Structure 1
Amino acid sequence: MTNAKRIFLANHSWTDSELDTHLWKSIDTGLLSKADQALFKRRKLAIDLFLNTNTTLKEISLTTGVKKPDIYRFIQRCLATDLMGEIIGYQALLPYQRNKIMIKENTIADILTTYPQIGDEINAILLGKTAIPGYPKENSIVFTVVHRYFLQLCLANNLSSKEFPFNLKDQGLRSFQRYAKSYIESHYDAEIARRSASGRRLAYMTRGVADPRKQPVYPLERVEFDGHKIDAYFTGGYKMPSGEITKKEISRIWILAVIDVVTRCILGYYITFNPEYNADDVIKTLTNSMQPWHPKELTIEGLVYGDNDGFPNPNIPESINARWLELYLDNGRANRAKRVQEFVTQKLHANYCLGPVANPIRRAHVERFFRRLEDDLIHRLPSTTGSNPNDVKRQSPVENALKFDIKVTELEQIIDVWIAKYNNTPHRGIANRTPLQAFKDYVDSGLLLPKYSDTEWEDLKMLQYYRQIVGNKKSGVRPYVNFENVQYTSDLLRQSPQLIGKKVLLKVNPDDLRKVTAYLVDSGLELGILLAKGSWGLEPHDLRLRKAIWQANDKTFDVKKLDNPVDSFLRAAEKKSHTDRKVRARVQNRMKIKYESSDTPKTKDVTKKNNNSFSQNKIIRSQKVDLSGLPSSFITKRG
């Protein structure tokens, strides 16, 4: 080793591994111009001769044409480290390229490492987590202002004026700016989040999305739920005081759906006429998605189901009673309800995964389904409102809804047929198979889906409440149970005064409160079905309607004096709906609930044909759902 080399290395604390050029990152010189290749090779040869041989500096300079001071300078640049602690290496020899990490940057990094209190505060300011004392928190970072505060922190920590950065003409400003830019670039997600609210959403929703370890691999491992407001007006019939039936427009109709991520199958859906969907609607949708699907009784001429159209349950027997592993929802108010969380975790036994609102990346499949529903069906109706007020498709939607008399009951039929066809339409995302075919392929490969037990399956639709049996032997009041201001009893309970004071568990179907099932808490003995007293046990109604009726209880509407509170409440609301559009939608939803809770048949008993003939479906070129089964009067012709 030459004396010059020995003295130079002795003045620095480089390790043997850092001096080993074989460990440095290589440079592909084929990407450089011929002139830059020649200059880089001369510099590289000079460094290699100095570090790996005993050649003198004079000989190296004569051989490579690199001056002696430049050799020392290049070695220091090559052996500098970046913020990640890695040697810059041969990258420092590239001609005409300013390296982001220079020796002075390392000095900045050394100060922040030596004085962690300075480093933590400066880094937090650069990422917008905190503000400089005396300054407001801003979206933009002014490096000169942060640099002045950095100098104040250095003085406060007793750094000498003869030390870096005070010994430089610009007091390390340029070096600080390079460090700040590099640090911000290395924390790109935080930088995006600092700039705007939309950036925060984007940074959050793209975090970990591309991680292949998190992607589901078999059906029902992950399902997505979301709600979508239908962009169209429809009509409903209401009875005027004179007895005449009049048509009124209805808007803000919501469709809620559950989709399987792996197979793209729509497992179930629910249509609600509430102004905003609530926790009851969410639970109803999830319950519908677990129950077997039945085709609706179609009243529209020309509207038909295809041979293999439908839903996995019951078209694919292996999907009946099958469990979900994960349920993805957005962070909407209804989805965050305690009842929804308990239903998902305790009844469905699934992971409850909330995500950000209005971010389709986390629930891309259900969002794309809604967009396809709008493009293929809703936006082609004459009463569509389009996707925004300036959409060219929006052509007098209210007038067209009344003119063509597109009823909400017909909307339910059309959507049911369309979704059944969607499940039987080839999809590019699953290798041009239909969602039902993809589901069946997984099952035929020997996949065993986890199932609910019979008891768990029966309890899916039931909510549980604890109540006490009340009564009075002395005054002759027979035993009964009070639930939501209504008495429930049965022949067995009325004849069992010894049960007065006992606690019971009520299993309640929230969609039909005419009856409940009771169990004694101390023994688990089933007391059987308890019926609501009076007209409460005759008129179909759900839990929310029951609460709404009692909330309206006042001097002008005395619930206890009414022979039929449910019917009286609906009539009063219907009278108000002639002038109030919001009330009109609520009335329509109440009538829908009443209809679904009644004992009248609502679906045809249709035996599905060719359940196992999915493989015979021909792949069609168009990716749109076939609408040939829809009446032409419901579809707007567009050039």
Structure 2
Amino acid sequence: MKNVLKHHRGVLELGPAHVPEIRPIGEAFFRRLEEGALRFIAGGFQPETRAVGQKTSTSFLRGQDHPLHWEGMLDLMDVILSGHNVTPHSGLHNRTPASVLNAHLTSGWHWEATELHRDAHELTTVRFNAKIRGDVKTGRHPFVQYQEGYYRSQRLMGRHDLVGKSFVAEVDLDDLRDLVLINPDDATVWSRLKVLPPWDLSPHDLHLRQQIIRAKNRGLIEIAGARDAVNAFHEFARSQPLRQGAPADLYARVDQQVQRQSKPAESTHRPVVQPRSGRTSFANSKD
């Protein structure tokens, strides 16, 4: 959404609901949905408004007697939306929404994102509250801990006055080697922290680090004195088939056999569709 608004001339229409003077296109769109389908569903009603002090029923059918058929409802909504897109609208100078969109596309508006790498990076970036740790008595410099990794920076060195305080931090889940602290005053980058050994050499995501941590907790590997935790874990994973005297592809072949055995046998009988209870049901109907 941010990429559409910033780079592709998109328009975000904000305003209070039920006020067609402020957002006429959106209100007309939702009104068509209400009047075309929602109000006539069994149990449908007009919600309470300022003009009408209480909700009023718009259908003489009870919802308890007529269960909703979800697939049929989706088809109905699709038909209503398609009809709205090809119906002239007075707010668009009697043009259809589809023609307005096509004219906007031909004027230079593109669907492709212009900043793919940055947008992809933002999708995998999460924020959390990071607490500054350290001990001035023992001379331990301030640091931030995340997923058993210790992060420091030059700006954080010697700042024992920040110990115990919290910062909003950002980290990319695809590469946990960097961590960013956000300045609480102006929401800018306060400092970029680097993770300490043995996590600083090889790129790794959150899933791989959690795998290494689980292996360490089970006593399978030891990374305390390792230069590169990721490389140590890869060496451990490659050495396991050799230690057990099994070929390297044994686990893959066993997994394929288990999948074939667990696959249910194909039935030659046609499935019987049980219609829903009630007077009206579309379970056995076809388009």
Q: Larger Cα Rg: Structure 1 or Structure 2?
A: 1
Judging by fraction of residues, say which structure has more helix. Answer: 1
TM-score, normalised with respect to structure 1: 0.23
TM-score by length of structure 2 reads 0.48
